[in-house]
């Protein structure tokens, strides 16, 4: 790589590092305002290069647990691991990587408030000389209700669609079903984790996905990272003070168990973090503080359990009346 190329790469990485740091601050501020509690911060270093900043709110007024994590990691990466991530690796290449992004998971106290997840990231793969041979954005946001309130699913999807449509009407059309397909537990008869949202991966700036040139593509990913302000915060404000029963809490803990199963068995982000030597506590931040695996039984027709199960069947929430 030439000196000019190295200088340009340094500027690009500094810009991406600033982006993920600023985004983490913005999302942290939103959750702090919703809860009133304090996030505790832990900085960590990754053996081999980079590190991260983990922020965790525990036992808050609204959230039993909420995490807003940032990572900026780099270093050597086995070619097999790069291929599993979906990277295009030239044969015989000594792979190095750089990745930065923000991951968010919030588990509310009240079963009337849904759990939410958001992640945005940028990944690049380089050869030993520092030449980039692949790079992409990934991420998305999805909602996991613990009580059957269809209005919340409609609101969440409509706001995500509005965010996507500001950049291209093709985005939501593709990324909504992508989310429906991804967040499933195949070992549970392909049951959905929640009501979905949007999901995307391997959006390569070099390919101008959805017709978006690199700066516009980055702006879209940043907008997704900030979308919870309109897509999720109003739901929290509407539901956090509603009364609930022990039965509601039991259903919440049951659904959290399914959440755990997906994240440990099928989630790409969990696998990527563990494969690249990230801080284990940060990788497993998405785990709820309490979950349950009750004895299986068929929900009674018309029960809250039955109604919630029906909500997990994918539908066009954004246009549903």
CA distance 50 to 75: 8
Q: What is the per-residue pLDDT for 294?
A: 95
User: How do residues 33-58 score in pLDDT, each as one tens digit?
Assistant: 999 999 999 999 998 899 999 999 99
Q: What is the per-residue pLDDT for 130?
A: 87
Q: What is the per-residue pLDDT for 5?
A: 67
Q: pLDDT above 70 covers what percent of the chain? A: 98
Q: What is the per-residue pLDDT for 120?
A: 97
Active site residues: 117
pLDDT band at 1 (very low <50, low <70, confident <90, very high): low
pLDDT band at 4 (very low <50, low <70, confident <90, very high): low
DSSP code, position 206: G
Distances (CA, A) of 312 to 33, 240, 264, 308, 316: 30, 22, 20, 7, 12
Q: pLDDT above 90 covers what percent of the chain? A: 81
User: How do residues 115-172 score in pLDDT, each as one tens digit?
Assistant: 999 999 999 999 988 889 999 999 999 999 999 999 999 999 999 999 999 999 999 9
Q: What is the mean pLDDT of the chain?
A: 94
With a CB cutoff of 8 Å and minimum separation 6, the contacts of 89 are 79, 82, 83, 95, 125, 133, 134
Q: What is the per-residue pLDDT for 139?
A: 96
User: How do residues 303-319 score in pLDDT, each as one tens digit?
Assistant: 999 999 999 999 999 99
Distances (CA, A) of 36 to 1, 115, 180, 285: 49, 18, 33, 20
User: How do residues 263-279 score in pLDDT, each as one tens digit?
Assistant: 999 998 888 788 777 88
Work out the end-to-end distance of the chain between its first and last CA atoms, rounded to an integer number of angstroms. Answer: 56
């Amino acid at each position: 790589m030439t000196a000019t190329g190295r200088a340009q790469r340094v500027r690009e990485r500094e810009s991406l590092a600033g982006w993920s740091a600023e985004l983490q601050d913005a999302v942290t501020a939103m959750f702090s305002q919703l809860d009133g509690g304090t996030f505790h911060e832990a900085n960590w270093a990754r053996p081999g290069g980079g590190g991260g900043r983990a922020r965790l709110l525990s036992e808050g007024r609204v959230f039993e647990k909420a995490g807003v994590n940032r990572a900026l990691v780099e270093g050597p990466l086995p070619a097999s691991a790069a291929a599993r991530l979906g990277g295009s690796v030239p044969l015989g290449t000594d792979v190095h990587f750089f990745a930065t992004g923000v991951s968010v998971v919030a588990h509310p106290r009240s079963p009337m408030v849904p759990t939410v997840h958001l992640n945005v990231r940028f990944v690049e793969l380089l050869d030993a000389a520092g030449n980039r041979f692949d790079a992409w954005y990934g991420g998305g946001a999805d909602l996991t209700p613990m009580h059957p309130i269809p209005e919340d699913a409609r609101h969440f999807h409509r706001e995500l669609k509005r965010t996507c449509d500001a950049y291209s009407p093709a985005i939501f059309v593709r990324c909504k079903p992508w989310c429906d397909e991804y967040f499933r537990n195949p070992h549970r008869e392909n049951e959905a984790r929640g009501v979905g949202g949007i999901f995307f991966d391997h959006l390569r700036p070099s390919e101008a996905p959805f017709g978006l040139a690199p700066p516009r593509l980055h702006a879209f990913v940043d907008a997704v990272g900030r979308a919870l302000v309109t897509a999720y915060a109003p739901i929290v404000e509407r539901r956090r003070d509603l009364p609930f029963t022990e039965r509601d809490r039991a259903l919440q803990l049951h659904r959290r168990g399914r959440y755990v199963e997906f994240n440990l068995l099928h989630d790409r982000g969990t696998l990527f973090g563990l494969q690249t030597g990230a801080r284990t506590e940060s990788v497993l931040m998405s785990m709820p503080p309490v979950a349950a695996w009750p004895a299986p039984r068929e929900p009674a027709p018309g029960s809250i359990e039955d109604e919630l199960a029906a909500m997990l069947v994918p539908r066009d929430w954004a246009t549903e009346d």
